[in-house]
């Protein structure tokens, strides 16, 4: 059974870059599927950030596209999120997930990131 675990700093300063990593176990990233990031700001609903195929194809939320980079490290069975020029509006719980058929069939438990000086 695939398992996903997010990790990264819980506090990021405004204007800096948020960096998170998702470690996948129970499934090899290079075997297929897209690998996605989703976030949930406090008091709000889920927001799709983007996803990446192991061979490099990516889809990004148009509203975040200019600031988002998703990358994959198949040797570590990990994928990562970088979100640049963060503001308080980027404060959220960030989730990684496995995407297939344009749906998310397995998720991590999430990691809370606060943007504050």
> Which chain residues interact with other proteins by CB under 8 A?
4, 36, 38, 44-48, 50-51, 59-63, 95, 97, 99, 101-105, 107-110
CB of 117 to other proteins, least distance (A): 27
Distance (Å, whole) CA 71 – CA 1: 23
CB of 45 to other proteins, least distance (A): 4
Closer to other proteins by Cβ: residue 33 or 60: 60
Dihedral over alpha carbons 45, 95, 2, 103 (to 10 degrees): 40
Closer to other proteins by Cβ: residue 16 or 47: 47
Closer to other proteins by Cβ: residue 55 or 117: 55
Closer to other proteins by Cβ: residue 13 or 65: 65
* Closest-CA residue to 72 (of 11, 108, 23): 23
CB of 14 to other proteins, least distance (A): 26
CB of 87 to other proteins, least distance (A): 20
Q: Do residues 80 and 74 lie in contact, with contact meaning Cβ atoms separated by under 8 Å?
A: no
């Amino acid at each position: 059974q695939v398992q996903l675990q997010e990790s990264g700093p819980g506090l990021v300063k405004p204007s800096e870059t948020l960096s998170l990593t998702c470690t996948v176990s129970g499934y090899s990233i290079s075997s297929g599927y897209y690998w996605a990031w989703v976030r949930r700001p406090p008091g709000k609903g889920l927001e799709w950030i983007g996803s990446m195929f192991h061979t490099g194809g990516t889809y990004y939320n148009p509203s975040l596209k200019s600031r988002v980079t998703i990358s994959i490290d198949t040797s570590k069975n990990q994928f990562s999120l970088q979100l640049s020029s963060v503001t308080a509006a980027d404060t959220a719980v960030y989730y990684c997930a496995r995407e297939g058929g344009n749906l998310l069939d397995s998720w991590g438990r999430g990691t809370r990131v606060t943007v504050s000086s």
